[in-house]
Structure 1
Amino acid sequence: MSAPIGAGRTERATATWSALVAAACNHSRPAVRFGDLEWSGHELLDRAGGAAAWLESLGHTPGLALPALVASSADALALVIGGAGSGHPIAPLGVRMTPKELAAVVVATCSPVLVAQSEFAELARDVAELAGCRTAVVPPLTPRSWFPRSEPDDIAIVLHTSGTTGLPKPVPMCQWRLAARARVNGALCALDPESFYGGSAPFHHIAGLGNMSVALAAGALITGVPSFTVDGWRLLREWGITHTSMVPAMLEMLLASGEAHQESLRVLQYGGAPIRAATLSRIYQAMPGVRMLNMFGQTEGSPVSVLTPEEHQEAVAGRPELLGSVGRAAPGVELQIREPGPDGAGEVHARGDHLFAVDDDGWLATGDLGRIASDGYLYLLGRKHDMIIRGGENVHPLEVETVIISHPDVADAAVVGVPDARLGQTVVAFIVPARPGTVPDSDKLRTYVREQLSGFKVPVRWHTVDSLPRNPNGKLLRRSLGEDS
């Protein structure tokens, strides 16, 4: 086990997320704006009071998560705030999932009721029939005076993992840890009452409600679009957002469409994959003055590490290797590499007040493989279950992908292991060309990778594809590629 990297644990926080939101939204300025609907902070809290009263009327067991089919909207935020402060934590679910998939998640919550906004009422009925529960459609929320009744250990929100390798797993977020996350993330992103956060991730995701919960606690104005599209980005730009988050594949889409420009944007948070130096330079040209942050984390805890705006500027100025890392330990986080191999790589573990799915000693096992350089930078190598074992040698897909993507002929890449009778597994690469309609020369790519990595890590087969399969959150669906190889 390597030595811990980062700051030690602080004293346990006594503040609650609900109290932070109540204080931050105690104003008459705009707090939420979705389309033509705009509520002030006072109106949002009053609607949260109405939501709390309605949730109480359902006869639901206090403290038990309420599964909900809701999308980014003012009502959904009021429902979450009211639920968190009244002991009825909301667990938003992915509205693009099938009824069968949703029913399995609802059954696992043990909730006798499924909440849904009116536009998802039909889907809710189908799910409820399979899950053996009843539905409750969110009514117009009557304003009602409200102040949170929550304790630090109460559950505020429940989010689920994306479920790319099985049934989505619930991640209960208790009040004091969510408050700690709001403070850490809010400070890193420079969110304040003058900020305007615009989201495009699905509401049920850590990049959706997870980021909006931070913006709420900072007193920022909040808006959102149903999903990330170029048209949706144009709307966010028209509204004048100052803060947002996305994955690098979305940035590449904006650049390719010529729509990346955004003069009002102050902070752009990204994650999920490294960004290319050339892409970063083009983003700076399109978004003058924007501050870029790469935050590594997951639903179970985020941020674990951060590549700061200053380090992004260093990368452009002559240290592009920094972009291959996910930065150094986030404020208040200790990092460890457990059971490192000869190359220093092992599973990344983290400890901090703002991490949720931790063991009795406060450690989060991320499931990600990585190594920490002598200067403290964390380099990820992929998920444990994605590791390829070729002839007894470990190949980390993310390490190989990072090298491939740095080639100017490549826009995106994925590496998978496929069965091999002699070696156990062999390495296969899927390439999205930088210039649509072209086919990068595999021999040149093979030589390029071999110049930087050991021979056993170099892909033996190369496939050119138009795009890579990703879930709605931008996460690469590596298993789909394995099946097609």
Structure 2
Amino acid sequence: MPATPALPSYASGTSDVPLLGDTIGDNFDRTVAAFGDRDALVDRDPGKRWTYRELAADVDTLAHGLVSTGIGKGDRVGIWSPNRAEWTILQYATAKIGAILVNINPSYRSHELEYVLNQAGVRMLVAAESFKTSDYAGMIEQVRPKCPGLEYVVLLGTHSWAELMDAGRGGDPALLAKLQAGLSADDPINIQYTSGTTGFPKGATLSHHNILNNGYFVGELCNYTEADRVCIPVPFYHCFGMVMGNLACTSHGCCMVIPAPGFDPKATLAAVAAERCTSLYGVPTMFIAELNDPDFATHDLSSLRTGIMAGSPCPVEVMKQVIDRMGMAEVSICYGMTETSPVSTQTRADDSVERRVSTVGRVGPHLESKVVDPESGLTVPRGTPGELCTRGYSVMLGYWEEPDKTAEAIDAARWMHTGDLAVMDDDGYVNITGRIKDMVIRGGENVYPREIEEFLYTHPDVLDAQVIGVPDAKYGEELMAWVRLREGAEPLTTEAVREFCQGKLAHYKIPRYVHVVEEFPMTVTGKVRKVEMRQQSVTLLGLEQVAAQRHA
């Protein structure tokens, strides 16, 4: 008898729970009606808290304020700020009137800000005045003359924010209801910029349907109810914060807890203890910092039940410690990308510890996953490596005003090609084994080497530059630049390169290591062999032990 052919690497997420068909505003109103008196939002830094009814009042006031300035459906409103309550209030206010929220990474510097404001056509920018080393107000002033479409700048905590809120007080609820009723769940509602291989970020455009359902089903797989309190130290500008965090909470009536504006391990542990959080989010770097905090043992984390670790490969030992020492018995690993709203696969609470430390789970409800041969595009048999693709409600509408780039990422059958190499086992669990593209994931931030290479080319002494990711115990990966210098140039130090990048590139895009070479390793066809460069770099930097660490 002929052998039975192996199952294809394809899986679909069946579910008894239907997809949500409403807009974010309508879904939020439903939660407010059901859980009005329950805690909705706690912002620990200024010590403010809101019930769902109080949060709804502020959201509606801000929505009226936006309308009073002429902001309406389809207009782009930028948000450039670390985590704070106003970020969340603006997220829901823009959703209620159909304005498209444009998330701007708080680490961006002036040239990145200018590009995003112009590319998205941002009419209003809401921003913090400053945070840590970032003078947002100063950078906005610098780029404003070069952004003709930018009509309004509102700085949080200043007169301009108070004015915007005041303008919305006493607004007609019937007007807001009418605007809300005119929206479709398939309308674009959010643009998130992801580092681009062409040197500039691309704006992944997401609908109500995309992100509301993704937040909802991530919350479903974490078994959220209105009794849950979720500590969100991950940034709101990223899907991890605003979708898996905020939308997972508001679609279930949970409480959102902001431990601090930026990640702080002490503040996070203190927030979990004081607010009796049942769930905690983070990239592996964050959990490592919390577990290693000298005062870790003094915090009562007994309320924790679950949480999510995602954003970069999760070290097995860290995952085990999170379960054992933090009591997060039901902790989940999620995998995805901004372009898929973001989660495609997730481990379940009833998965074995081995599954949860060695895979990124299986396909989410109402989604499809497959692993294909990158050359032929055909689905490979289970157990065979290939490129992971995902399809379903979560796939973005496209890259903002970049149809060619969209067509490169999403094929004619609406499969999103992730560029990640993966293996699907017989039970449908996925293991990420590498990347087809050269993308580096540093502490949960996606970095495309091409963008940094393009920038390094502007250095007067650099003839050519190649940027790679090398293993790092703290961030998962760190950036290393291999550079060839122009004839007669002075030797170039790592410090000099970092100084050249300072203030012009976001901190996580600045190479940690610099290696000056005469030539790059090349293939016979003249392509740079980055794989070989990585191998050499591991030896060169003495990172063999870090490289050998097991990840899910």
> Which interval holds the TM-score relative to the shorter structure?
0.7 to 0.9
1:304 aligns with 2:339: no
1:50 aligns with 2:83: no
Matches within 5 A, 1:343-362: 344-357=384-397, 361-362=413-414
What is the aligned length? 417
Task: Output the amino acid matched with 1:254.
Answer: E
Tell me the CA shift for residue 191 of structure 1.
2.2
Provide the rounded CA distance (Å) in 1 between the counterparts of 2:350 and 2:325. Answer: 18
TM-score (norm 2): 0.67
Matches within 5 A, 1:161-172: 161-162=194-195, 166-172=199-205
Kindly tell me: are residues 175 and 460 of structure 1, through their superposed partners in 2, closer, same or farther at Cα, counting changes over 3 Å? closer
Report what 1:283 is aligned to.
322
1:232 aligns with 2:267: yes
Report what 1:134 is aligned to.
151
Report what 2:73 is aligned to.
62
Match of 1:17 among 24, 35, 39: 24
Task: Output the amino acid matched with 1:134.
Answer: E
Provide the rounded CA distance (Å) in 2 between the counterparts of 1:201 and 1:164. Answer: 25
Q: Which moved more, 1:267-276 or 1:7-16?
A: 7-16
Provide the rounded CA distance (Å) in 1 between the counterparts of 2:283 and 2:306. Answer: 14
1:96 aligns with 2:107: yes
Instruction: Check whether the contact 1:269–1:293 (CA below 8 A) recurs between aligned residues.
Output: yes
Provide the rounded CA distance (Å) in 1 between the counterparts of 2:439 and 2:262. Answer: 31
Alignment RMSD, CA only? 3.5
Provide the rounded CA distance (Å) in 2 between the counterparts of 1:201 and 1:362. Answer: 30
Tell me the CA shift for residue 40 of structure 1.
1.7
Matches within 5 A, 1:85-484: 85-117=96-128, 120-132=136-148, 133-137=150-154, 139-140=161-162, 141-142=165-166, 143=169, 145=173, 147=177, 148-149=180-181, 150-162=183-195, 166-210=199-243, 211-224=245-258, 225-237=260-272, 238-260=274-296, 262-301=301-340, 302-311=342-351, 313-315=352-354, 323-339=357-373, 344-357=384-397, 361-386=413-438, 414=477, 419-420=520-521, 425=529, 427=531, 461-464=539-542
Tell me the CA shift for residue 356 of structure 1.
2.3
Tell me the CA shift for residue 269 of structure 1.
0.2
TM-score (norm 1): 0.75
Report what 1:7 is aligned to.
13
Instruction: Check whether the contact 1:105–1:167 (CA below 8 A) recurs between aligned residues.
Output: no
Kindly tell me: are residues 286 and 108 of structure 1, through their superposed partners in 2, closer, same or farther at Cα, counting changes over 3 Å? same
Tell me the CA shift for residue 89 of structure 1.
2.2
Kindly tell me: are residues 295 and 42 of structure 1, through their superposed partners in 2, closer, same or farther at Cα, counting changes over 3 Å? same
Runs (5+) with no aligned partner, structure 2: 1-6, 131-135, 155-159, 398-409, 441-470, 483-519, 547-552
Instruction: Check whether the contact 1:18–1:175 (CA below 8 A) recurs between aligned residues.
Output: no
Provide the rounded CA distance (Å) in 1 between the counterparts of 2:424 and 2:281. Answer: 25
Kindly tell me: are residues 458 and 126 of structure 1, through their superposed partners in 2, closer, same or farther at Cα, counting changes over 3 Å? closer
Kindly tell me: are residues 314 and 61 of structure 1, through their superposed partners in 2, closer, same or farther at Cα, counting changes over 3 Å? closer
Kindly tell me: are residues 426 and 70 of structure 1, through their superposed partners in 2, closer, same or farther at Cα, counting changes over 3 Å? closer
> How big is each residue's C-alpha offset from its partner over 1:293-341, in whole Å with a ceiling of 9 and x where there is no partner?
0000111113211122333x431xxx7xx63321211222211122257
Instruction: Check whether the contact 1:162–1:205 (CA below 8 A) recurs between aligned residues.
Output: no
Tell me the CA shift for residue 241 of structure 1.
2.0
Tell me the CA shift for residue 153 of structure 1.
1.8
Q: Which moved more, 1:418-427 or 1:340-349?
A: 418-427
Task: Output the amino acid matched with 1:354.
Answer: S
> How big is each residue's C-alpha offset from its partner over 1:40-80, in whole Å with a ceiling of 9 and x where there is no partner?
21121111111111211232452132222233222222211
SS in 1 for 2:418: strand
Kindly tell me: are residues 159 and 464 of structure 1, through their superposed partners in 2, closer, same or farther at Cα, counting changes over 3 Å? same
Tell me the CA shift for residue 189 of structure 1.
1.8
Provide the rounded CA distance (Å) in 2 between the counterparts of 1:417 and 1:103. Answer: 25
Tell me the CA shift for residue 86 of structure 1.
0.6
Task: Output the amino acid matched with 1:344.
Answer: T
**Higher-RCO chain (CA-CA 8 Å, sequence separation at least 6):** 2
Instruction: Check whether the contact 1:125–1:135 (CA below 8 A) recurs between aligned residues.
Output: no
Provide the rounded CA distance (Å) in 2 between the counterparts of 1:346 and 1:428. Answer: 20
Task: Output the amino acid matched with 1:463.
Answer: L
Tell me the CA shift for residue 267 of structure 1.
1.3
Kindly tell me: are residues 129 and 235 of structure 1, through their superposed partners in 2, closer, same or farther at Cα, counting changes over 3 Å? farther
Report what 1:483 is aligned to.
none
Instruction: Check whether the contact 1:16–1:152 (CA below 8 A) recurs between aligned residues.
Output: yes
Instruction: Check whether the contact 1:370–1:380 (CA below 8 A) recurs between aligned residues.
Output: yes
Tell me the CA shift for residue 413 of structure 1.
5.9
Provide the rounded CA distance (Å) in 2 between the counterparts of 1:164 and 1:309. Answer: 36
Provide the rounded CA distance (Å) in 2 between the counterparts of 1:429 and 1:412. Answer: 20
SS in 2 for 1:461: helix
Provide the rounded CA distance (Å) in 2 between the counterparts of 1:38 and 1:61. Answer: 28
Provide the rounded CA distance (Å) in 1 between the counterparts of 2:474 and 2:542. Answer: 11
Tell me the CA shift for residue 359 of structure 1.
5.3
> How big is each residue's C-alpha offset from its partner over 1:211-264, in whole Å with a ceiling of 9 and x where there is no partner?
212212221111212222222223323333222211112222222224556222
Tell me the CA shift for residue 18 of structure 1.
1.8
Kindly tell me: are residues 421 and 165 of structure 1, through their superposed partners in 2, closer, same or farther at Cα, counting changes over 3 Å? closer
